[in-house]
Amino acid sequence: MMDFVSSLGCDAYKVKLWHFRTLLILLTLTAPSLTTFVEAKEVFYKGELIDIGTHRLHIHCIGQGSPTVILDSGIGGLSLEWSKIQENLVKNNLKVCSYDRAGYGWSDSGPKPRTTARITKELKTLLTQANVPGPYLLVGHSFGGFNIRYFASEYPELIAGLILLDSSHPQQFETDEFKTISPKISQSTNNVSGLRINIIQPVVAKNFPKENKKIARILMSTNKSLKTLINELENMETSAIQLAKRSNRKPYEFPVIIITRGKRVWPNNALGNRKEQRWTKLQYDLEKISSNSTHFFAYKSGHAVHLDEPKLITEKILLAIEKSRNNIIKNELTKIFTSNLVTYSIMSSFNQILPIKQNIFANLNRMVKDKKYKPQIKWSINTSIAQRYRIRKINTPDKFESFAK
């Protein structure tokens, strides 16, 4: 999460209440009607409203394929902002799901406080109740990076990889540049003229998908959305602490791709310079999350990199999926060959020829020559790799060497 304006796409002003009495009356009268209008007309949304026990969450899944891509927005964001990326990924035979966190979009308001730990548990329940299968490739923008990292620490066996889009860092609030993170509403009951409030005016980004701009503006202006935005902001430091407690572990082995904005977002002054430098350093630190991490810069993008360069983000998601699939086959092949199973030729289900390390075959060749290799007669198609990919058995020992070459 960055500065209040740049990260949320909102303008915040502290004003004297008596200057805006008329405005506040209008907001009070119109906001509930907007909320009712949007929430009641379920024909507007694509996807489903899933009951997770305490409230309903909206999720929109399209396509088929594995792993399943899950998209999580930053503070104030909603599922509509991912439409371009969803459409691009579906063309590559993938199942892609965007969803609205509690309080945003078409989802109901959820229990407070709105912290990463609570959000993560709700997402897991949502995926279970909606019958969305894993493994999951999680994509998180800004504050969404907190959520997907926490999810990975809680359910590592379900994770195929992570994509962090100009993600927040749990240590950023320990720095001088990012100590203040949220606007506070201070109230004085004795002096009405001294009452100060924050008016938040949602701004839909210029590069927001055109077909979704109108409805997005309405959804972002509802009472539940604005209250959720404030609550997530006020509890963001708590979320950072929750994630930090989960970060003291050895690096993951699954692929993690970090994409950092390339454009400056803070003012061109001394403090702005320090913030830019600190943010970049924290982005580099994210590389430590995994032993299989890759870092890219989106030089044409501001903080909302998925809106500025959806094609680039699509490419990197596909790269992460390729890495994940390669890891699966590598691990399965290692299990097969080290267990002295018969040799297989593999044709992957995603129609790509995957390289197999020469040293594996070299070792097996030596085993054949030393007569230590004992091909097994029984073979089952029920192994995990046989189920995941189409596998043809090669049973003749004298053909093994030619295959290995």
Residue located via tokens 């579906």: 90
Q: Are 63 and 90 in contact (CB under 8 A)?
A: yes
- Does residue 346 form part of some domain? yes
Q: Is the dihedral of CA 272, 278, 280, 286 positive or negative?
A: negative
Q: How many CA atoms lie within 13 Å of 207's alpha carbon, on the beta-carbon side?
A: 15
Quick one: DSSP state of residue 184? -
How far is the C-alpha of 254 from the C-alpha of 292, rounded, in Å?
A: 6
pLDDT at 199: 60
Q: How far apart are CA 48 and CA 97, in angstroms?
A: 11
Q: Please give the pLDDT value at position 59.
A: 98
C-alpha span between 354 and 332 (Å, rounded): 13
| CA terminus-to-terminus distance, the chain | 52
309 φ, ψ to 5°?
A: -135, 70
| Domain count across the chain | 2
8 Å CB contact between 318 and 92: yes
pLDDT score recorded for residue 339 = 66
In the prediction, which pLDDT does 340 show? 54
Say whether both 230 and 314 belong to one domain.
yes
Q: For residue 158, which phi and psi values (nearest 5 degrees)?
A: -100, 0
> Which position has the token pair 């189920």?
387
Q: For residues 321 and 344, state if they share a domain.
A: no
Same domain flag for 138 and 211: yes
Range of the domain at 386: 340-404
CATH code (residue 263): 3.40.50.1820
Question: Are 317 and 357 part of one and the same domain?
Answer: no
222 and 347 in a single domain? The answer is no
Mean pLDDT per 10-residue interval, the chain, length 405 residues: 40 36 36 39 76 98 96 97 96 96 98 98 98 97 98 97 98 89 41 46 86 93 95 96 93 97 96 96 98 97 97 98 90 74 48 47 46 39 44 36 35
- Per-residue CA distances from 50 to 35, 108, 260 (Å): 19, 10, 33
